[in-house]
Amino acid sequence: VVNKPRIGIIGAGRLGTALARGSIKAGYNVAIANSREPESLNLTLRVLIPEAKATTIADLIDRSDIIILAIPLNQHKTLEPGAFTDKIVIDAMNYWPPTEGKVEGFTDPEVGSSERIQQYLNNAKVVKTLNHVAYNELEEQALPTTSPTKRAIAIAGDDEDAKAKVADLIRAIGFDPVDIGGLSNGRFIQPDTELFNTRYSVDDPRVVKYVH
């Protein structure tokens, strides 16, 4: 696919495969990886995402312009920070103690989980988005790009160019991107906030209050 950023998805579970399908449908080139050898994804690819390429995490990072983190947050330290230098990274992970327990460094409610991920992947351009939409809704509620009103998906990040490229991806997979400011505002789309797992449009007051 010409002129479209190449997408790499780390994590091939519910969210990762749904995003892979949506991105492929939108014409993106998609690579996907889990924690094991690429062959472990043979069945997943055959059944769910035949047009994706399974590869290693190192190769995926190398070949991708936008890398989506879709793994349990408590696994993030298995990622090698240096490999992500200058890459656009979508942090779609959630800190969710009921399922994965407390994670050191993530317990302060004043600091967004994606700010911690940015500190860890210190030379990447981290954008927080897609974390607050259920994987099945990403497929069921996607609308053609020509539809006037679509479900909105909020984006928070400190790098404007990275955010613009991620906004294009959100648009292409059938949603309206809405920029809610810097990465620290990502805490307003985390679990237990009014924008988490809720359907809203770009003019909804619950999101408009973060748009400047």
Ligand X SMILES: NC(=O)c1ccc[n+]([C@@H]2O[C@H](COP(=O)([O-])OP(=O)(O)OC[C@H]3O[C@@H](n4cnc5c(N)ncnc54)[C@H](OP(=O)(O)O)[C@@H]3O)[C@@H](O)[C@H]2O)c1
92 touches ligand X by CB under 6 A: yes
Which of 2/15 has CB closer to ligand X? 15
Question: Are residues 61 and 33 in contact, defined by beta-carbon separation less than 8 angstroms?
Answer: no
CA distances from 15 to 18, 30, 129, 131 (A): 5, 14, 12, 9
Which CB, 75 or 184, lies closer to ligand X?
Answer: 75
Binding to ligand X (CB under 6 A) within 175-204 occurs at none
Query: Restricting to residues 23-42, which ones interact with ligand X according to CB under 6 A?
Result: 34-36
**Residue of 12, 117, 167, 207 that binds ligand X (CB under 6 A):** 12
Nearest to 113 by CA among 98, 126, 99: 126
Q: Should residue 94 be labelled a site residue for ligand X when binding is judged by CB under 6 A?
A: yes
**Chain residues 47-86 in contact with ligand X, contact rule CB under 6 A:** 70-73, 75, 78
Smallest gap from residue 183 Cβ to ligand X (A): 17
Instruction: Give the CA diameter of the chain.
Output: 46
DSSP state letters, 51-74: TSEE--HHHHHHH-SEEEE-S-GG
- Whether the CA torsion 82, 87, 91, 92 is positive or negative: it is negative
- Taking CB under 6 A as the criterion, the residue among 1, 14, 50, 123 binding ligand X is 14
| Near ligand X in 113-142, by CB under 6 A | 131, 134-135
Smallest gap from residue 96 Cβ to ligand X (A): 6
In this chain, which of 16, 22, 38, 177 binds ligand X, going by CB under 6 A? 16
Which residue bears the tokens 């995926």?
60
Sign, CA dihedral 99-103-106-109, equals positive
Complex with ligand X: residue 139 or 204, whichever CB lies closer: 139
Report CA dihedral (68, 74, 77, 78) to the nearest 10 degrees: -80
List interacting residues with ligand X (CB under 6 A). Answer: 10-16, 34-36, 70-73, 75, 78, 92-94, 96, 131, 134-135
